[in-house]
Chain A
Amino acid sequence: MAILCDKSARLIVQGLGRMGRFHAGLSRDYGSQVVGGVAPGKGGSEIDGLPVFDTVREAVAATGADASVVFVPPPGASDAILEAADAGVALVVCITEGIPALDMLRVKRALRGGQTRLLGPNCPGVVTPGQCRIGIMPAQITRPGAVGVMSRSGTLTYEAVDQLSRLGIGQSSCVGIGGDAVIGTTFVDALALFEADPETKAVILIGEIGGNAEETAAAFVRAKMSKPVVAFVAGQNAPPGKRMGHAGAIIAGGHGRASDKIAALEAAGVAVAATPAEIGETLAKRCPALAR
């Protein structure tokens, strides 16, 4: 069934601005079940054919939604995530870029031990090819298959997926975990899901400078993964102390360097692509059976 979502997912949209509406439409065109939207004060109306509710609780009660995608701007985004969790939504995908890190610390603390899984924020979402699209990914470049893809970067996810598809290698699920310092679903969480998913035969991890998510993932791969893992780490030429676009992508105090991450991954038996143009080829070499 791939991971995080399949064709049974019932999706609501929080934040029905220009971007939320545009991508809700694309998700619906892709075949996802988009069942409603939440816009406080506009409950009872309809936007683009979607029933609109004032609160997430009302939306869930009326539609049976089990997934939500959040497009709410940064000042209200953490509140939107917590509202979805409070309403019992199982999967919340937060696209919003620019949420204060302390807000996310409190959100993560609140979600701990609960029933809600958060993907993001500052992420492109998830596509399970042929079944479901939640977020903003260009789903037309994906194709159904057996490789799980996960990345801290949106556009690098597309790059990797495109390289795979051009080589005739399909994907089980393509997951953007987000570029912020504090995120919901981590590499380790996604690795565990891919390891448990019978349809996934191999995993691609696309990391970048900053933090220690790649090192933690490497330790998990070594201890728990039976499936082959291929990786790329962006930012090998990033200067220290500069934030490289993503809030989480900064080499600080000698920590978070690409070279350390690559070394940790290689020591765990992960095949690391030398350049971003060789992600697909590296997987094809490592898993010849999938490339046919």
Chain B
Amino acid sequence: MNVHEYQAKELLRGYGVPVPPGRLALTPAEAEVAARGLDAKVVVVKAQVHAGGRGKAGGIKLARSPAESKRIASEILGMTLRTHQTGAAGKLVRKVWVEAGCEIERELYLGLVLDRAAEDLAIIASTEGGVEIEEVAGRSPEKLATVHVDPATGLQPFHVRRVAFALGLGADALAKLEVFLGGLYRLFVEKDATLAEINPLVVTRAGDLFALDCKLNFDDNALFRHADVRELRDPDEEDPREREAHAHDLAYVSLDGDIGCLVNGAGLAMATLDMLRAAGGAPANFLDVGGGTSQERVAAAFKLILEDPQVKAILVNIFGGIVRCDLVAEGVVAAARELGVRVPLVVRLQGTNAAEGRALLAGSGLDITPAETFREAAERAVAAARAAGA
């Protein structure tokens, strides 16, 4: 789960990580009041959307007076921000963060990530702050330092020293980095983050460290124990169908094709997208109905797929293990009757109780095209979508 910059900064502040003072504004008038309250020579007005690259896209601007803050906020609020991370559709800006500017001496990079290959936590530090870290990794990998932290011991002073020297911070900055990194590490572990990125971490002329921008990702699997993090979810930042799927405990990702997919199991669901492409078709979505599939969930999944106006055919691909094919068939029949499926429906059932499931579909009187093998199912769905689109 992602959060906004302003939410990340509030969390950081709670863990003693220094961030510049700032206020949230939903209207230009609020931005003016916020700027006045900050009592700074320069303030920065920053669009709050879940995407990087906001500066280049015109979503971050400097203001030298409260009046200018108001004018800039009126430009940024309501704009559709298109960055390399938003896709062509872009993201509508609904709020801005107004922050006191600071006098920057150096811009550094500091990241903390769950390193799945090393099976530990890794601190990534670089003297090249303020640019995309992937770009630094590609261009000058020697400028990245990685410090692994054993989850059994947690962060130790020597880790902080290694990071400090890698960042070219003098001995006088060590105590400040200890507070900074210590807070970041505790936040990461206590709130079950998977990524915490401070870019840039700035050193001011006065020698202080500040998190000027921050990106936090949290482990979806750990949200059950963090009510405070769950509350930071911003439904406006999510695809409406993905949000609806989330409410029904379905794994769903919108794609741009015309064949709706309803599959059990993440691997088979990904492979179904691959198979449709190989057969010359284009999937409209990834959808995993999961293991403990009930009739209600199948119906909810159908509803989601049918709400997508692009969908011209639906492929149901089920390999029953835990899932019983007869229950899926009942769900398909019930959903098709209730919702009135307006597009061709290709159904493949294999595994547990497949014969019973197929018999149910055949006896339902619904216009369903059955398929036996994976390839057959994909080819029939592609043909059906083509016929419907012609």
- Chain A residues packing against B (C-beta within 8 Å): 19, 23, 74-75, 97-103, 105-106, 108-110, 124, 136-138, 141, 151-159, 162, 179, 181-182, 206, 208-209, 211-212, 216, 232, 234-239, 241-249, 253-254, 274-277
Contact = CB atoms under 8 A, between A and B. Distances in A.
A142 B51 CA distance: 46
A237 B273 contact: yes
A275 B274 contact: yes
B16 to A, nearest CB: 21
Contacts of A99: 221
Contacts of A242: 253, 286
Interface stretch (B6-14, B91-99, B111-119, B165-173): B111-119
B220 A109 contact: no
A254 B114 contact: no
Nearest to A236: B274
Nearest to B274: A236
B26 interface: no
Nearest to B223: A100
A179 B253 CA distance: 17
27 contacts: A101-B114, A101-B116, A101-B222, A102-B151, A102-B189, A102-B222, A105-B151, A106-B152, A108-B119, A153-B271, A154-B267, A154-B321, A155-B265, A156-B268, A158-B319, A159-B268, A159-B350, A159-B374, A208-B266, A234-B270, A236-B273, A237-B270, A242-B253, A244-B286, A246-B266, A254-B134, A277-B374
Contacts of B264: 155
Given A75-B225, A141-B351, A241-B85, A153 B374 contact: no
Contact of B255 (A152, A239, A249): A239
A138 B352 contact: yes
Contact of A244 (B224, B269, B275): B269
Contacts of B224: 74-75
A227 to B, nearest CB: 23
A23 B321 CA distance: 10
Contacts of A98: 221
A102 to B, nearest CB: 6
Given A138-B352, A182-B119, A238 B270 contact: yes
B291 interface: yes
A276 B352 contact: no
B321 A137 contact: yes
Closest 7 CB pairs of A and B: A153-B267, A245-B266, A155-B265, A100-B222, A155-B268, A276-B271, A156-B267
Contacts of B350: 158-159, 162
Nearest to B2: A241
Given A110-B152, A124-B321, A136-B322, 12 more contacts: A100-B225, A105-B121, A138-B352, A154-B265, A154-B291, A155-B263, A158-B351, A162-B319, A182-B114, A237-B273, A245-B267, A275-B375
Contacts of B291: 97, 136, 154
A57 to B, nearest CB: 23
Contacts of B119: 105, 108-109, 182
B288 interface: yes
Interface in B64-81: none
B283 interface: yes
Interface in B186-231: 189, 192, 194, 219-222, 224-225
B261 to A, nearest CB: 11
Contact of A106 (B151, B273, B292): B151
Interface string B356-390: 00000000000000000111001000000000000
Contact of A246 (B267, B275, B283, B321): B267
Given A75-B224, A235-B274, A244-B253, A211 B117 contact: yes
A190 to B, nearest CB: 16
B9 to A, nearest CB: 22
A275 B278 contact: yes
DSSP majority for the B interface? mixed
B311 to A, nearest CB: 17
B265 A243 contact: no
A74 B221 contact: yes
B220 A247 contact: yes
Contacts of B133: 253
Contacts of A249: 266, 270
Contacts of A110: 152
Nearest to B137: A253
Contacts of B225: 75, 100
B30 interface: no
Q: Which of B121, B267, B319 has the most CB of A within 10 A?
A: B267
B219 A100 contact: yes
Contacts of A182: 114, 116, 119
A101 B151 contact: no
B150 interface: yes
Given A100-B219, A138-B351, A245-B251, A277 B321 contact: no
B270 A208 contact: yes
Contacts of A151: 267
B271 A156 contact: yes
A156 B192 CA distance: 30
B221 A100 contact: yes
B278 A274 contact: yes
Contacts of A152: 267
Q: Which of B251, B283, B321 has the most CB of A within 10 A?
A: B321
Interface in B234-266: 251, 253, 255, 263-266
A162 B352 CA distance: 12
Nearest to A151: B267
A155 B286 CA distance: 15
